Structure 1
Amino acid sequence: MEKIRGIHHISAMVGDLENVLQFYREILNLRLVKQTVNFDDRTGYHLYFGSQSAPLSSLMTFFPQQNKTGIKGTGQVGKIAFKIPTNQLDYWKNRLKSFGIKYKEGKWSQFKALYISDYDQLELALVASAEVSNIADIQGFHGLSIYSSHPRASKEFLETKMGFIAVKEDENYHYLAISGDKQEELLIEKELLEAGAWGAGTVHHVAWSLTDEKEERDWRKYLIKNGRDVTILRDRKYFKSIYFREPGQVIFEMATQVPGLTVDETKESLGKSLQLPQKYESRRKEIENRLPRLN
């Protein structure tokens, strides 16, 4: 099997639209690179953010306007870790303070990190693991943690079936290196929580990056052969996707790198106007009238 290329995107459910824009665009200085709708529910936005240095990869996406608060628990992604330059921790401390965002200093694996929460209480970390740089911007994902219902079964599956590399474990986590060249990490929380419930403040899924549709079809056959219940291929316009749950019940997606975000916008104009899948174009005016305007 071809190895996955790392994290393609992470998708979270959040509440107030303006809070999402302020926190991720203004405070974390991520770039809004796509405004579209939930392809399975056209009544709500699906917003994509990328780093300023690599806006076409390492995407953080959101389904805002959720009308109930979620419950964090097993079967969900836990913490989301962003990568910052090793020499820019003080910059980020000062920046967070200037916006009134509380942080806790700690470590993610062997790296220094700042732990924060967004306005919906999504758990985030700024991990000082990128190369020294005069530019303080987030460089992409460092990794994530998951709340598994069966931590050891999740570890075994990720290691033996998905090509992740077991690095170490301690009393709190199993530490795995994610395949690919980005040096990303996945931590499996050992603490067993109650089952989670979807809503604002929870992460719906993590998507792993594959090159193209052929690789995805090969992975689908392989996963089914290894006991996973896998969806059919779904066309998300910017990538093709399949979905399944790993043994700990966390939702995994496999997403292709092609055709990419520039299939309907130039790189320079990314995120500046509402983009729709073809199936919704005939209802564009209705959709635009229903959605709140982005500031």
Structure 2
Amino acid sequence: MNLKGIHHVSAITANAQKNYDFYTSVMGMRLVKKTVNQDSPSMYHLFYADAQGSPGTDFTFFEIPGAGHTYPGNQSISTTSLRVKDDAALHFWKDRFTEHHVDHDPIVELIGKATLSFRDPEGQRLMLISDEYNQGVEPGIPWSQRTIPAEFGIIGLGPVFLTVADITSTKKVLTEILSFKEISEVDHFKLFETGKGGSGAQVALIEDSEAKRERPGRGSVHHVAFRVADETELEFWKNRIEDSGMPNSGIVDRYYFKSLYFREPNHILFELATDGPGFTADEEFDELGKNLALPPFLEKDRTHIEAQLKPLQSSKE
């Protein structure tokens, strides 16, 4: 049994409104779920994805007002990549980033693919990665957006980049417990993949034993989640992780999917999450992201929760 690929990446923002403006207006992603952190309902949890809200395309943010700067280092998810259709799309985005004053680097080849690294307004470390020669996990469907032609839109999450102090221990978890396969070593990264493979199912691992441990804040990544088909498979992975002696959360019902959390030896938080039931569990497809959605166990507290949240204003584009 193999994991299917990357399910979502969850990061931290200090300002939900500015985060929403950037990822919907500048990046052209769809807000598919406006909800709250189920463990701390006073803060927003925003989910951006493709047009369908497909597993493997979700880039999510917890709002922590007042979150300090991130001090980059090891023991971290150091870059999140987003897939685009081809190399031509990278040139579109480079021009768009210049137009919108987005901090970015030149287009370069990394781990065998054309890439464009950039930072969001809070310093979130991001990378667009071309699907020009990619095979494996299918891409998502770009959200139809007035200023971004569909052929250039974001089509999912690409490889997640981890920086660790001890590559051996994380490699062991990936290969011996989670059944990833090491496929190459390029540009000082060891590249692993699972399931159908390709950009939507890859982890790039680099060792930096001399760096200090990252101090997270706004612009850092909280965790990465990997896809499992359903709760039966999630139970399989729960038993496998427990048999390895690694502490874990047990199965947690997040309503839109079910999850299991654990930290690998370099302290990076991994989540396994089911593909379903998905974001239409409580909203019609055309209404996704328009209203505050709460799981049933929080619905009774809606009035109190809404009073603590500042309403998001509509995107400018």
Give TM class, smaller chain.
over 0.9
- 2:285 partner SS: coil
TM-score (norm 2): 0.87
> How far apart, CA to CA, are the structure 2 residues paired with 1:259 and 1:267?
13
Query: 1:144 corresponds to which residue?
Result: 160
AA aligned to 1:118 is D
Equivalent position amino acid for 2:53 in 1: P
Match of 1:71 in 2: 71
CA contact (8 A) 2:8 2:157 kept: no
Alignment of 1:46-61 (within 5 A): 46-52=45-51, 54-57=52-55, 58-61=57-60
Aligned pair count reads 293
CA contact (8 A) 1:75 1:251 kept: no
CA distance in 2, matches of 1:129, 1:66: 35
Q: CA deviation at 1:131?
A: 6.8
Contact 2:110 / 2:187 at 8 angstroms: preserved in 1? no
- Structure 1 counterpart of 2:93: 92
1:59-138 alignment to 2 at 5 Å? 59-69=58-68, 70-86=70-86, 87-105=88-106, 106-130=108-132, 135-138=151-154
In 2, the alpha carbon distance for the partners of 1:119 and 1:248 equals 28
Q: Matches of residues 157-236 of structure 1 in structure 2 within 5 Å?
A: 157-170=173-186, 172-181=188-197, 183-184=199-200, 185-192=202-209, 193-236=211-254
Q: Does structure 1 retain, via aligned residues, the 8 Å contact 2:13–2:67? A: no
Shift of 1:24: 0.8
Amino acid at match of 2:123: Q
2:287 is the counterpart of 1:288: no
Is residue 33–residue 50 contact of structure 1 (8 Å, CA) maintained in 2? yes
Unaligned runs of 5+ in 2: 135-148
**Identity among equivalent pairs (%):** 28
CA–CA separation in structure 2 for the residues paired with 1:182 and 1:50: 19
Q: In structure 2, how many angstroms separate the alpha carbons of the residues matched to 1:109 and 1:170?
A: 6
SS at match of 1:88: helix
| Aligned-residue RMSD, C-alpha | 1.9
Q: CA deviation at 1:227?
A: 2.2
Q: Return the alpha-carbon distance in structure 1 between the equivalents of residues 309 and 119 of structure 2.
A: 26
Please say which of residues 174-183 and 128-137 is displaced more in the overlay.
128-137
Q: Which runs of 5+ in 1 are unaligned?
A: none
Equivalent-residue separation in structure 2 for 1:92 and 1:30 (angstroms): 13
